[in-house]
Amino acid sequence: MTEQGGTIKAPRGLAGVSVSDTRISKSSPDGGLVYRGYPIGELAAKATFEETAYLVLNGKLPTRAEFRDFAASLAALSKVDAGVFDIMRSLGPGAHPIDVMRTGVSALGSLDPERSRPGRERSIESKMAVLAANSRRVPAGEQPRLPADGEGFADTLLSMLTQREATQFERWVFERVLIFYMEHDMNASTFTVRVVASTLADPYAAASAGLASLKGPLHGGANEAAMDMLLQVRDPGDAKKFVDSAVREGKKLMGFGHRVYKRFDPRARLCKQYLREMVQRRGGDDGIYRVCDAVEMEMWERKRIPPNLDYYAAPIFYLLGIEIPLYTPIFAASRVFGWMAHYNEQTEENKLIRPDSTYVGPTGLTYKPIDERGP
């Protein structure tokens, strides 16, 4: 960082700049990731989605009673008003699901007279999964799918997303992927949420801003783009040609690279193991795993850039039979728990986030009336 006339000039993209203290999570260049002090591998091996969400939100693992109350409150608040589905339906089949979800969250906020009441975040957290699962079907004119009673968060979401019957192992894997998507310190959408929170806007406003930020292919949209790319490669034998030509043309491969992880993304490593096991347990065609592995090897060989979570989450969702445009909505349905933890942390210790900028445009121009500016 350099100092200019009393203003600190940050590097482009705020790379390497800490903009806030946080107790929620931390990723590190050596491939470390902790949520509230717990290594991600520990949580992936042992915790449920609800336990992890409670931890991220409250800073401690729940007792049995706290767990029961938390899971019950998520289920109880998940009912989405028919008026919100009507608004989503009005967007029509061409709308991108993540835009539909953003509109849905905005509508939820507008229709909630208690939108600014403390604790309202739980209402958003519980309804986001329902919006995600219906973000494609409702605008296409189909009936909304609603959560089944008595299932956990991950199972409920999966059965709303696809009618395909998943095995116990596949459901376990899906829950792990949701745990990985839940939180990731100062990523672009979380920073966006904190900026909105710092203005003391309500949590619905913050979540809809988070969704807008998540949409782009450099962030949440990467899982959909990665799957499209893997389907283009099709055959592991074509990986070298594909990577060579992308690198030659200066194209970015979606699902590779990360601002923090330069050697490996711990979530991608675990997802790669899960994907391999999913494929093995199914028997038969392991082509999708071999394509992923071949592209990863070529990319490391050529650019020394490792795959990120989106790269290995995408083929897992694909094997589960989930439609590609729903991948980013799934990310959002989980990340909202992290967003709301950051919303609370920001508002509890608030300082308006309002940086400065360095003006590099012209100065001292003189106004000319419109008639004197030429045709």
Q: For binding to ligand COA (CB under 6 A), which residues are involved?
A: 13, 218-219, 222, 252-259, 303, 305, 308, 310
Report which DSSP code applies to 28.
E
Tell me if residue 184 is catalytic.
Answer: no
Beta strands 32-35 and 25-28, pairing class: antiparallel
Tell me if residue 310 is catalytic.
Answer: yes
Cβ nearer to ligand COA, comparing 35 with 256: 256
Residues 6+ apart with CB under 8 A from 247: 302, 303
Take residue 14 and report the two structure tokens written for it.
Answer: 């705020």
Q: Taking the complex as a whole, how short is the minimal distance between the CB of residue 10 and ligand COA, in angstroms?
A: 14
CA angle 201, 338, 272 (to 5 degrees): 150
User: Cα dihedral angle (276, 277, 281, 285), rounded to 10 degrees?
Assistant: 0
Q: Taking the complex as a whole, how short is the minimal distance between the CB of residue 242 and ligand COA, in angstroms?
A: 12
Cβ nearer to ligand COA, comparing 290 with 302: 302
Take residue 8 and report the two structure tokens written for it.
Answer: 């600190």
Q: Taking the complex as a whole, how short is the minimal distance between the CB of residue 201 and ligand COA, in angstroms?
A: 26
Nearest to 36 by CA among 180, 185, 158, 157: 185
Nearest to 341 by CA among 104, 126, 60, 121: 121
Cβ nearer to ligand COA, comparing 117 with 251: 251
Q: Which residue has the tokens 């990863």?
A: 296
Which residue has the closest beta carbon to ligand COA?
257
Residue 142, Ramachandran bin (φ over 0: left; ψ between -120 and 50: alpha; else beta) = beta
Cβ nearer to ligand COA, comparing 126 with 328: 328
Tell me if residue 219 is catalytic.
Answer: yes
Q: In the chain, how long is the greatest CA-to-CA distance?
A: 77
Take residue 290 and report the two structure tokens written for it.
Answer: 């071999």
Cβ nearer to ligand COA, comparing 160 with 233: 233
Give the Cα separation of 172 and 174 in Å (integer).
Answer: 6
Options 219, 238, 286, 293, the catalytic residue: 219
Take residue 334 and report the two structure tokens written for it.
Answer: 């989980």
Cβ nearer to ligand COA, comparing 121 with 183: 183
Report which DSSP code applies to 139.
T
Cβ nearer to ligand COA, comparing 15 with 365: 15
Name the H helices within the chain.
Answer: 40-46, 49-58, 64-76, 82-90, 97-111, 121-134, 153-161, 168-181, 188-198, 203-214, 222-233, 239-248, 266-282, 287-303, 309-319, 327-348
Residues with a catalytic annotation lie at 219, 258, 310
